[in-house]
């Protein structure tokens, strides 16, 4: 039987395996820009910066990362800010449309969305993801978030689920999306959270069996979800705790699901010509910090997200300078050395923010990447 062109077009896709995404390329230690789409980025402070959430700067940052050879750009999904003196992250770009724009504007780098699963139906999300995967030629990825910030859920009129129940919702959400990305005939869904008749989605993504997936859950339930489903688990732990964590989640993925998983960290990079200058910039960020906003974040995370249990025991300074993640501070050589320590501990990548993304992204690529390449961490 000869099918009309629009029917055969509908079955297109799946021309690349997910492991052909740039985040699984030849670089031994993957690197990417994190949180450039939200005001403040990773810094809750009045420290002086030229960083602004404008589309011109988003293009400048993404293209600099692309030209410089970084592996990924990962946004933060945010619907409301955190109050305080700066309303941290209160100005933000929505991340599906953001990713579509940057996918068209770049050539080699992986572009992620960060999607709060309770805020978007799997049929809509799967279709948007497929579209961006085609725009990017298979460079798209999804950071799956269960919806931990209660004020955001209330904006959508949703009752906040108990922590572990959010992952049950997320599993059903992802199972639905996976069927949309892979099945060629309409199907019915009759689950606890979703019901659908005749569900289908054409075309299929470029990547098979789905776009690359990332998740930052580090609670026991979050680890189980990540081990079962995603390619990259994003954490922020002291270096000495990393080997045990990585060994545990990799064992769970292998033993329970016969699959592998990578573990990355997120961090704030402050790289300057001298260590003294880098430390001065770090201290200025802290001295001019939004302490009220940091308290808001810590209160919410401590009550509502066990995934962040490790971070909330740290000082408020960690949230002011780095969103609870570690700081990588020093000269280009020192920054490269600290990133190498992460790799030695068992991590396979890091995404990071800067005080001034547009200025510091190309500087990082020019000054730090050659050192990492010389030391064998980059191809």
Band (pLDDT 50/70/90 cuts) for residue 304 is very low
Pair type for strands 195-199 and 187-190: antiparallel
Please state, for a pLDDT cut of 90, what percent of the chain lies above it: 85
Which has the higher per-residue pLDDT, 200 or 13? 200
Band (pLDDT 50/70/90 cuts) for residue 331 is very high
Is the confidence at residue 74, as pLDDT, over 50? yes
| pLDDT tens-digit map of 138-174 | 999 999 999 888 888 899 998 889 999 999 999 999 9
**CA 221 to CA 306: how far, in whole Å?**
9
Per domain, the residue ranges of the chain are 5-374
Band (pLDDT 50/70/90 cuts) for residue 205 is very high
How many C-beta atoms surround the C-beta of residue 295 within 10 A? 15
pTM of the full predicted structure? 0.94
CB 324 within 8 A of CB 236: yes
pLDDT at 314: 58
Is the confidence at residue 214, as pLDDT, over 80? yes
Please state, for a pLDDT cut of 70, what percent of the chain lies above it: 93
pLDDT at 148: 84
SS3 270: strand
- Cα 304 to chain centroid, rounded: 20
pLDDT at 313: 43
195 token code pair = 């019901």
**CA 225 to CA 231: how far, in whole Å?**
11
What's the residue count for the chain?
A: 379
**In whole numbers, what is the pLDDT of the chain averaged over residues?**
93
| Helix/strand/coil percent split, the chain, to 5 | 45, 20, 35
SS3 253: helix
- CATH of the structural domain 5-374, one choice from 3.20.20.30, 3.40.640.10, 3.10.20.310, 3.40.50.10790: 3.20.20.30
Q: Rounded to whole angstroms, what are the CA distances from 14 to 138, 143, 204, 206? A: 9, 20, 6, 4
DSSP 8-class letter at 82: -
**CA 106 to CA 175: how far, in whole Å?**
30
């Amino acid at each position: 039987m000869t099918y009309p062109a629009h029917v055969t077009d509908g079955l297109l896709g799946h021309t690349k395996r997910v492991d052909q995404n740039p985040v699984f390329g030849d670089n031994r230690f993957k690197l990417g820009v994190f949180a450039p789409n939200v005001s403040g980025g990773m810094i809750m402070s009045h420290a002086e910066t030229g960083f602004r959430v404008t589309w011109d700067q988003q293009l400048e940052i993404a293209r600099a990362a692309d030209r410089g050879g970084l592996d990924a750009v990962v946004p933060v999904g945010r619907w409301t800010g955190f109050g305080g003196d700066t309303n941290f992250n209160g100005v933000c770009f929505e991340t599906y449309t953001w990713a579509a724009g940057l996918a068209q504007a770049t050539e080699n780098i992986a572009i992620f969305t960060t999607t709060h699963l309770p805020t978007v139906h799997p049929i809509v999300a799967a279709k948007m993801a497929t579209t961006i995967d085609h725009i990017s030629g298979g460079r798209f990825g999804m950071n799956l978030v269960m919806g931990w910030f209660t004020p955001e859920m209330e904006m959508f009129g949703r009752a906040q689920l108990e922590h572990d129940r959010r992952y049950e919702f997320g599993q059903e959400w992802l199972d639905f999306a996976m069927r949309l990305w892979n099945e060629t005939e309409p199907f019915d869904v009759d689950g606890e959270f979703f019901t659908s008749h005749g569900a289908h989605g054409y075309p299929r993504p470029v990547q098979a069996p789905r776009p690359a997936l990332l998740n930052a859950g580090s609670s026991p339930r979050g680890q189980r979800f990540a081990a079962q489903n995603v390619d990259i688990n994003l954490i922020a732990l002291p270096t000495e705790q990393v080997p045990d964590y990585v060994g545990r989640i990799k064992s769970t993925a292998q033993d329970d699901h016969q699959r592998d998983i990578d573990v990355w960290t997120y961090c704030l990079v402050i790289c300057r010509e001298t260590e003294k200058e880098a430390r001065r910039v770090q201290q200025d960020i802290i001295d001019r910090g939004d302490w009220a906003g940091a308290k808001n974040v810590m209160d919410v995370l401590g009550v509502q997200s066990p995934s962040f249990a490790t971070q909330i025991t740290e000082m408020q300074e960690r949230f002011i300078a780095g969103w609870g993640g570690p700081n990588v501070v020093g000269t280009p050589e020192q920054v490269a050395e600290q990133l190498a320590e992460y790799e030695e501990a068992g991590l396979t990548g890091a995404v990071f923010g800067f005080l001034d993304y547009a200025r510091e992204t190309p500087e990082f690529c020019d000054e730090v990447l050659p050192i990492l390449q010389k030391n064998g961490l980059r191809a």
